[in-house]
């Protein structure tokens, strides 16, 4: 019998790595780890296993989910969209201006990402109580 996959150790490891990266001043790595965690959270929430689906498409699918629920306040959809745009700008700056410059400029983005991550988990839990059981925690 095949059981449910336990993602909790992977999630905890990446959450810890993001916090450690932030604490040591590696803001770029912290931000990108949180982006990956948010994408995983969104994929699990939407039960979307297609690896080819982009983060921006997942956000659109989440927006459609909210429409079906007749949920009109789409603050998280807007925040996720801006978050993804910021990620794209950060990666562009990384290639254009290098690691050191981009890392220094990413501190505020990393701080905001850590906060948004916790709030996103809380919000997704209002729709799916299994989010915390899967391993996502808003600490």
What is the SS3 string spanning 27-95? Answer: HHHHHHHHHHHHHHHHHHHHCCCCCCCCHHHHHHHHHHHHHHCCCCCCHHHHHHHHHHHHHHHHHHHHH
Does pLDDT of 103 surpass 90?
A: yes
* Tens-place pLDDT, residues 15-55: 999 999 999 999 999 999 999 999 999 998 999 888 899 99
* Tens-place pLDDT, residues 60-100: 999 999 999 898 888 999 999 999 999 999 999 999 999 99
pLDDT bucket at 3, cuts 50 / 70 / 90: low
Residue whose entry in the numeric block shows the structure tokens 């993804």: 84
Which pLDDT score, from 0 to 100, does residue 4 have?
59
Look up the pTM and report it.
0.88
Nearest C-alpha neighbor of 138 from the set 5, 57, 38:
38
**pLDDT, mean of residues 106-115:** 95
DSSP code for 137: -
Pairwise CA distance, residues 58 & 53, whole Å: 7
């Amino acid at each position: 019998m095949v059981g449910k996959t336990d993602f909790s150790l992977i999630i905890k490891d990446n959450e810890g790595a993001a916090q450690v990266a932030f604490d040591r001043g590696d803001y770029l790595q912290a931000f990108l780890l949180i982006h990956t965690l948010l994408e995983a959270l969104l994929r699990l929430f939407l039960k979307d296993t297609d690896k080819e689906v982009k983060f921006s498409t997942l956000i659109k699918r989440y927006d459609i989910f909210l429409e079906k629920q007749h949920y009109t306040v789409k603050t998280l959809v807007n925040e996720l969209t801006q978050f993804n745009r910021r990620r794209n700008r950060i990666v562009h700056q990384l290639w254009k201006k290098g690691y050191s410059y981009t890392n220094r400029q990413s501190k505020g983005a990393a701080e905001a990402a850590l906060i948004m991550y916790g709030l996103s988990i809380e919000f997704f839990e209002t729709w799916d109580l299994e989010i915390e059981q899967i391993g996502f925690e808003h600490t």
